[in-house]
Amino acid sequence: MSQFEDRAKGQEAKYAFDAETKFKAEARRNKLLGIWAAELLGLTGDAATGYAAEVVAADFEEAGDEDVFRKVSGDLKAKNIAVGDDVIRAKMLQLAQLANEQVAAEG
């Protein structure tokens, strides 16, 4: 029975580690996206950092990426900044890859 319990505990630990890593990478991606959008919005310094935090917080509205996409897209459109939805989605994919690499490198 001990081997079975050890194996189950190992699988639980791996699942928890994978979930935590995924969460960190998504939060990192959202922060990077917020910094990118802040530049487009003309924000610098604390204002840019604050905006990036708003983008990260937007991810807690619902499951998936649509809440983050709507936040950035809506803010850019509100300031009449012409960035297509396809550009935002492509940037999200690019930054997701970068965020995964950064989180993996941090261990």
Q: Write the pLDDT tens digit of every residue in 17-67.
A: 778 989 999 999 999 999 999 999 999 999 999 999 999 999 998 888 999
- Report, as an integer, the average pLDDT of 63-87: 95
H helices present in 42-84, as ranges: 45-58, 66-78
Q: For residue 50, which of 37, 62, 59, 63 has the smallest C-alpha distance? A: 37
95: nearest Cα among 20, 29, 7, 37:
29
The pLDDT, as a whole number, for residue 1 is 61
CATH number of the structural domain spanning residue 8:
1.10.790.20
Selected residue with higher pLDDT from 17 and 73: 73
Q: Which two tokens stand for residue 70?
A: 């709507």
Tell me if 48 sits within 8 A of 39, measured CB to CB.
yes
Domain that holds residue 102: 2-106
Count of domains for the chain: 1
Region label for 42, one of left (φ > 0), alpha (ψ between -120 and 50) or beta (otherwise): left
